[in-house]
Amino acid sequence: MWQELRTVDEGFFLSHQMRNGKRMAIFVKATKGINKNKNLYQVFRPNTGLQVKLEPLQDIKKKYQKVLPKAAEKDWTVQYNCSANQCSHAYWRGNCKRYMVYQSCEVGLRRRTYYVLSGSVLSVWSKVEEILAAGPGPQSKMQILRLKTDDGAKIVGCLIPRHCVPTLVSKLSEGATTYSNKFTNADSQHH
């Protein structure tokens, strides 16, 4: 991406402000804006990648200073590596309120885990609604989504909050029959 830069205003930037002894590194790339009077820029963060919102250069320069790639490398790499399993709160503040009460937090993680219930779910719909309704806050609402997997499969399903998964698995397993077909290496030699 570095080779694709067209202007002197593109490249790596470091935040003016330090938080918890760390600076935020970003990568900025010019794009054609909707408003012809001001150029808008794409912003890439080491933990979450390309940001949805385009930003004017003057806003970027208020918070960040342009630096050479070598100057941003350490801050970028540290945040990238930490974002594999540490939320932004813990990274920037040193702790996370959710973790302190033994809850998971995925804010600012590079990769997130989504639990999706798909397939023939109409027969268990009321059980799913009951479990989600017992959850706290806005996560208790039913959310249907459509996604495409890395191998191209398309899935439509219900998003299940992480804290509801064990209860849902237990509830849907009640009365279920499990079949096991053991196949050993010795069996394959006889067929």
Q: What is the pLDDT of residue 188?
A: 43
Q: What digits encode the pLDDT tens for the residues 73-86?
A: 999 999 999 888 88
- Asked if residue 69 and residue 13 are part of one domain, the reply reads yes
Q: Give the span between the Cα atoms of 117 and 161, in whole angstroms.
A: 11
C-alpha distances out from residue 5 to 20, 106, 137, Å: 31, 32, 44
* Residue 62: band (very low, low, confident or very high) from pLDDT cuts 50, 70, 90: very high
Q: Which residue type sits at 147?
A: L
Of 43, 62, 83, the one marking the end of a domain is 83
Decide: residue 151, CB within 10 A, 0-12 exposed, 13-18 middle, 19+ buried: exposed
Domain annotation covers residue 167? yes
- Asked if residue 8 and residue 79 are part of one domain, the reply reads yes
Of 28, 59, 83, the one marking the end of a domain is 83
Domain annotation covers residue 68? yes
Residue 191 has pLDDT above 80, yes or no: no
Domain annotation covers residue 95? no
Q: What digits encode the pLDDT tens for the residues 35-58?
A: 555 689 999 999 999 999 999 999
For all residues of the chain together, what is the average pLDDT?
83
The mean per-residue pLDDT over the stretch 52-78 comes to: 95
* Residue 15: band (very low, low, confident or very high) from pLDDT cuts 50, 70, 90: very high
User: Which residue has 């963060």 as its token pair?
Assistant: 45
Q: What is the DSSP letter of 111?
A: S
pTM, two decimals, is 0.66
DSSP H or E segment with residue 188: helix 185-190
Domain hosting residue 16, numbered range: 2-83
Q: Which residue type sits at 160?
A: I
The mean per-residue pLDDT over the stretch 132-146 comes to: 75
Domain annotation covers residue 108? no
Residue 189 has pLDDT above 70, yes or no: no
- Asked if residue 73 and residue 125 are part of one domain, the reply reads no
Q: Give the span between the Cα atoms of 21 and 84, in whole angstroms.
A: 20
Q: Give the span between the Cα atoms of 11 and 137, in whole angstroms.
A: 41
Q: What is the pLDDT of residue 133?
A: 83
Domain annotation covers residue 58? yes
Q: Which residue type sits at 185?
A: N
- Asked if residue 79 and residue 6 are part of one domain, the reply reads yes
User: Which residue has 């397939």 as its token pair?
Assistant: 119
